[in-house]
Amino acid sequence: MKTTRSFFILALAVCLGLQAAGKAGAGQQSAGELFEKALFVEEGRGDLQKAIGLYQDIVKRFPGDRETAAKALLHIGLCYEKLGKTEARNAYGRLLREYADQLQQVQQARSRLAQLEAAAGGQARTKEGLTFKKIDFQDAGGSHQARLSPDGTKMLYIGVQDKLPRFSIRMKDFNSGQIVLLVDDVNADVENLIFEWSPDGKKAVYTPKRGELRTVAIEGGRTEALWSAPDKDTAVYPLDWSNANQAILIALVNRADKTACLAVLPETGGQPRTVVSGDMSELADIAQFSPDGTSIVGMRKREKNTDVYVWAVDGSEEIRVTEHPAEDYYPLWSSDGRYIVFVSDRAKTVDLWAAPMEGRRTAGDPFRIQADIGKNKVPSDLTRGGQLLFYAVSSTGQPSDLFVLSVDPKTGNPSGGFRPFARYPTQATFIRWSPDGSRIAYTSRKGNIQLPNAYVSAGGTVEEIEIPAAGHWIGNVEWARDGKHLLFPGWEPDGGRVGIFRISLDDRKIEPLPPLGERYGTNFKGAYVNLRWLPLAGKFMVGRLLTDEEEVYLMDPGDNRLERLGEKIGISGYAIPSPDGRYLIGISTKDKSIRLTSMPDGSSRFLCPLSAEGWPAFSWSPDGKHVVWNEGDRLKMLSVENGSVRELAEAGVNKTFTNFHGGTPNTAWAPDGTKIAYALLDTAGGTGARGELWVVEPSGGAPRKIADAPAAHPQMTDVVWHPSGKSIFVQAHAPKDSRRSFEHWVMENFLGSGKK
């Protein structure tokens, strides 16, 4: 094949030479003709150095013929590779920077760069030509926030520890391997980055708590106050630091009046100047300076659609960069100002796109750089060295799954072991059975960075239904009594008002059940949470979280009318109602105890202290007359009628109770109330600890183990008995290192030399 190709190239070159001879001169050769000549010199004659010169001549003389120039740069890289020279990287990098719209050549260049990285022993991963390099050190997996320094040699990140204070700002020096604690005790939420590098890499600006900005010196760790918000309701987040105009871009978010603005603050302090403002539901607190400091790129939601916008830094102009019915978000500006990079789902997958720019105006249609980067990956920064930084939810280990165990409904004895139920639910929460017991509904993020969606599954080979949240926050799902709709308490996406919503399983539409509550702000009265069907009461119950208290409402399944049950209840923490709605179990924040409260009079009795491990695993009997929970290494049962407490089981040596309360409706009691299933964790194996499923009869008798957890998912939670009594469901997990929840990846040689 190689000989045939070389002969063809030789013949073609001769032909082209004869054609060229009839022209005014060799200088009149087109880019295509010169490329074929260079290709012959490379492959026909094997003169790589001369071929490189010809290819370079094409790039210099014909920059407007973008396809041919891109092919020439690709072959320059290939020739340098054959010569064993590192200049190959430069050629591929230039192709990526200057000819990103030539997708075929770009993909080949990325593939070659990935192979060069792998050959050099670097830690790289290639996906369809896109190269990611993982940043991996001891603390990295525990950090949900990270920023690379402008030169890419250091990283600021959030250090996490179990004891207080939990969060700190640390710096990793990749050259020396040293980790430095810069700032201890910061408020690091998941949604917003709280720090940003200075352009020279010598300082960082950060927010230690709501409404306050400080700077810290990378060398020495000295901190200084920079700016404070004038009121307690305003939060401030540093977004970018521009060398062009010595200013810091900040987001100011007032959660009381639901407003947000992007503002410019002098790097020496003073007063911020507003560039653009709007409602929190409209204007995102994500933005970045242009390389020349004259513009700001961000994202804005209008008419239920999110697009990329650019604003003049003096606030005089707003330009819409993208206009598409899909979601366009997380925009970043390349260092040369020629592109705005963003994420979009316009091709039905989560893809990386770029919009060509001339100043703050578009210079062409957006084009896709890479398809399907994954929902669990978010781009967060472009460095001066051309490194695109992503953070991701960790993809290591087995996902959690829902398993089912067939049992005899009379004895509770199993037949066989646990088997997976349908497709992996992956971190399923609030599992609810349909009225006829044929399907489950649950919420999950599926390991992605997104709001939880709702899912319905029948198990077996039937494909599950995914219902996108469409911007709603879904607190938990519960079945409507017709089996054709789901209900959930939560927040609407646009006005941010709280309420209870209904999902149609036929068309997946989400609509509010009137009346909606107020928006978060000065007059906010609390969010609706923990919607449950009470089988003995024949109504739904929902709580409303107040400060250290709850209001409780009953909802009629016929007209969905809410009726408040009693006055404010002195407990909080998603109270667990009895099946008849007469009692609630919740946390008393005043004395850190768990109490049983009688409805509607609000009288309560002490059940147990709130342990450092959190909630015990409470389960109501089907008739509402008894409740069981684990306290220490004992399983206890309370008779609500006479107030007596009895021990049912003891965990045993090297065994601990696992929390099996996950918001499930039937919990661990058998439907006939004659048996209780519960989970233990056998810790004798150390890192190989494995869960066990046990059954005990509330009337007395010795507990007995009926099954071991699946080998690949040895830790069990959320024990649920099926309404038929013929099977027990558990959610099981692989051992997870809490320090490895996140990953940080860098994509290099990307659309130019980065920013800053």
Per-residue pLDDT tens for 211-243? 899 999 999 899 999 999 988 889 999 999 998
Question: Does residue 714 have a pLDDT over 60?
Answer: yes
The residues, ordered by sequence, that sit 6+ positions from 744 with a Cβ below 8 Å of its Cβ are 134, 135, 140, 143, 146, 155, 157, 389, 390, 391, 392
Fold of 2-122: 1.25.40
∠ Cα 356 336 266 (to 5°): 110
Least confident of 32-36, 149-153, 659-663: 659-663
Confidence of residue 503 (pLDDT cuts 50, 70, 90): very high
Least confident of 5-19, 318-332, 683-697, 722-736: 5-19
Tokens of 171: 């710096």
**Encoded amino acid at 557, one letter:** P
600 preceded by a cis bond (ω within 30 of 0): yes
Residue 387 to residues 131, 132, 192, Cα–Cα distance (Å) = 11, 10, 21
**Encoded amino acid at 740, one letter:** R
Structure confidence at residue 507 (pLDDT): 92
Question: Does residue 731 have a pLDDT over 90?
Answer: no
Across residues 364-371, what is the average pLDDT?
83
Higher-pLDDT residue of 578, 335: 578
- In terms of Cα–Cα distance, which of 375, 380, 379 is closest to 393? 375
Structure confidence at residue 667 (pLDDT): 60
Question: Does residue 122 have a pLDDT over 50?
Answer: no
Question: Does residue 751 have a pLDDT over 60?
Answer: no
Confidence of residue 117 (pLDDT cuts 50, 70, 90): low
Count of CB atoms within 10 A of residue 217's CB? 14
- In terms of Cα–Cα distance, which of 282, 181, 289, 189 is closest to 237? 189
Residue with tokens 């920064």: 381
Whole-angstrom distance, CA of residue 747 vs CA of residue 151: 14
DSSP conformational letter for 24: S
Superfamily (CATH) of domain 132-396+741-747: TolB, C-terminal domain (2.120.10.30)
493 preceded by a cis bond (ω within 30 of 0): no
Structure confidence at residue 740 (pLDDT): 56
Structure confidence at residue 754 (pLDDT): 39
Least confident of 31-40, 296-305, 496-505, 732-741: 732-741
Fold of 398-427+615-735: Methylamine Dehydrogenase; Chain H (2.130.10)
Question: Does residue 3 have a pLDDT over 50?
Answer: no
- Assess contact for 406 and 415: CB atoms under 8 A: yes
Higher-pLDDT residue of 104, 346: 346
What b-and-e string marks burial along 468-478, b requiring 16 or more CB atoms within 10 Å of the CB? ebebbbbbbbb
Residue 348 to residues 327, 341, 395, 519, Cα–Cα distance (Å) = 10, 18, 22, 32
Structure confidence at residue 251 (pLDDT): 95
- Assess contact for 693 and 730: CB atoms under 8 A: yes
Higher-pLDDT residue of 384, 672: 672
The residues, ordered by sequence, that sit 6+ positions from 85 with a Cβ below 8 Å of its Cβ are none
Confidence of residue 1 (pLDDT cuts 50, 70, 90): very low
Confidence of residue 722 (pLDDT cuts 50, 70, 90): very high
Residues 33-69 have pLDDT tens digits of 899 899 888 877 778 999 999 999 999 999 889 999 9
pLDDT > 90: percent of the chain: 41
Question: Does residue 121 have a pLDDT over 70?
Answer: no
Question: Does residue 672 have a pLDDT over 90?
Answer: yes
The residues, ordered by sequence, that sit 6+ positions from 99 with a Cβ below 8 Å of its Cβ are 66, 69, 70, 73, 105, 106
Quote the pTM value: 0.68
Residues 586-643 have pLDDT tens digits of 888 778 888 899 988 888 899 888 776 667 778 999 999 999 988 888 999 999 999 9
Across residues 157-175, what is the average pLDDT?
86
**Encoded amino acid at 411, one letter:** T
Segments of 337-437 assigned E as strands: 339-344, 351-358, 361-362, 367-370, 377-382, 388-393, 401-406, 419-420, 429-433
Across residues 646-671, what is the average pLDDT?
75
- Assess contact for 155 and 147: CB atoms under 8 A: yes
For 213, half-sphere exposure in the C-beta direction (CA atoms, 13 angstrom radius) is 29
Instruction: Kindly report the three-state secondary structure assignment for every residue of 704-753.
Output: EEEEECCCCCCEEEEEEECCCCCEEEEEEECCCCHHHCEEEEEECCCCCC
Tokens of 253: 């978010």
698 preceded by a cis bond (ω within 30 of 0): no
Tokens of 387: 């490194």
Residue with tokens 């919740």: 586
pLDDT > 70: percent of the chain: 85
Residues 542-574 have pLDDT tens digits of 988 876 678 899 999 999 999 998 877 877 767
DSSP conformational letter for 21: H
Structure confidence at residue 17 (pLDDT): 37
Structure confidence at residue 20 (pLDDT): 37
Domain map of the chain by residue range? 2-122, 132-396+741-747, 398-427+615-735
Confidence of residue 120 (pLDDT cuts 50, 70, 90): low
DSSP H helices in 309-399: none
Phi/psi at 653 (nearest 5 deg)? -65, 135
Q: What is the mean pLDDT of the chain?
A: 83
